[in-house]
Structures are given as structure tokens and as C-alpha cells.
């Protein structure tokens, strides 16, 4: 496991790269804070939570928004950006379908009101689709928000638990090597 973390650390952008890059130079004062780049027990779970919260809510350019949200939350910037890719074109349709079902259950929309009849055929199809979209957007938005918060909370707890478990395992191995524990 330490080889995986070491490989990941080598691929992180360096502080010098951020300071010298012409696009990030204006924001270097904020982006060069150490807690945004270190992998520690606080910043990694925050990064996972930020990435899982932002990705489904903002499906376009979610990586950039997660990186921006990592700055005020003091989350690991790279982890927050990387976790957003768990929501991708293959996982977003089932996620949004489940979000719609959750939103419908929370709003208790058991029966839809019938679509209004439109007499003019040219505007009839457009009106039908607009009414359908308005009827589905409320449950979808609520379900997406609820599922994003639940996934972000679960991601925070799981990554925090995994981090602490991994550190405990290393401490026990070190104590065993030193002969302190049988």
C-alpha cells in the first residue's frame, strides 16, 4: 500500500510548478498553502467529501469547481479533483435515475398530474417536453442534493476510517519490529 501512496505522491504537481505557472501565479498565495497539498488525516477525507459533493451537483467542469471548493475547506486539492471522476459518463445516468427516485420518494409524488392538452400541433410537442421537464426537475434536484450529501458524508467517514486503520497498522508493525509487542 505504501508503494501506491508513494507513486501517487510523485505524480502530484509541485509547489514550484504552481508558483511558476502563468495561469496559477495570480492565485499562488492561496494555492500554495501546505494543507492543500499534503496527504494527512484531515485533508484527505475533506478532499474525498468535497469531490463527492461537487461532482453530481455540477456535472460540467466539476473538477475545476471541486478544486476551487478545496481551497476554503482546506481539503487536499488533488484528491478533491481526482474523486470527481468517480462520477463519469458511465455512472451519471444510473446516479441521476436513483436521485430521481429518491427525490420522488421524499416529495411523495405517487401520481403525476395529467399533461395539459395543447391544440396547436407546432407548439404541442415543445409544450409537452417543457411540462415533462418541469415535472421531473424538482424530484431530480432534491434527490441529487440528498444523495450527494449522503455520498460525501460516507466518503468522508470511509476515507477517515481507512486512514486511521492504515496508520494503526503501520504503528503495530513498527512496534513489532522493535520487539515491543509479541
96-152 pLDDT tens trace: 999 999 998 888 866 555 555 555 555 667 777 777 777 778 889 999 999 999 999
The total domain count for the chain is 1
Residue 38 forms part of a structural domain: yes
Give the range of the structural domain holding residue 125, as residue numbers without chain letter.
33-178
Residue 4 forms part of a structural domain: no
Residue 79 forms part of a structural domain: yes
Contact assessment for residue 109 and residue 139, using Cβ atoms and an 8 Å cutoff: yes
Contact assessment for residue 37 and residue 124, using Cβ atoms and an 8 Å cutoff: no
Rounded to a whole number, what is the distance in angstroms from the first to the last CA of the chain?
A: 23
Residue 77 forms part of a structural domain: yes
Residue 11 forms part of a structural domain: no
Most confident of 6-10, 123-127, 178-182: 178-182
Residue 18 forms part of a structural domain: no
Q: What is the DSSP letter of 27?
A: G
Residue 15 forms part of a structural domain: no
pTM of the predicted model over 0.85 = no
Cα separation of 30 and 49, whole Å? 20
Residue 140 forms part of a structural domain: yes
Amino acid at each position: 500500500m505504501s508503494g501506491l501512496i508513494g507513486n501517487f505522491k510523485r505524480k502530484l504537481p509541485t509547489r514550484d510548478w504552481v508558483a511558476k505557472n502563468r495561469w496559477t501565479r495570480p492565485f499562488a498565495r492561496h494555492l500554495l498553502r501546505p494543507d492543500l497539498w499534503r496527504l494527512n488525516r484531515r485533508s484527505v477525507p475533506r478532499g474525498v467529501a468535497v469531490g463527492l459533493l461537487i461532482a453530481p451537483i455540477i456535472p460540467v467542469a466539476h473538477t475545476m469547481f471541486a478544486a476551487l471548493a478545496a481551497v476554503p475547506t482546506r481539503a487536499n486539492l488533488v484528491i478533491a479533483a481526482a474523486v470527481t471522476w468517480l462520477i463519469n459518463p458511465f455512472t451519471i445516468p444510473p446516479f441521476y435515475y436513483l436521485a430521481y427516485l429518491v427525490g420522488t420518494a421524499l416529495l411523495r409524488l405517487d401520481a403525476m398530474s395529467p399533461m395539459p392538452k395543447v391544440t396547436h400541433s407546432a407548439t404541442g410537442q415543445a409544450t409537452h417536453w417543457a411540462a415533462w421537464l418541469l415535472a421531473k426537475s424538482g424530484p431530480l434536484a432534491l434527490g441529487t442534493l440528498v444523495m450527494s450529501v449522503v455520498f460525501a458524508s460516507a466518503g468522508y467517514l470511509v476515507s477517515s476510517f481507512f486512514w486511521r486503520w492504515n496508520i494503526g497498522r503501520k504503528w503495530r508493525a513498527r512496534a513489532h519490529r522493535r520487539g515491543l509487542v509479541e
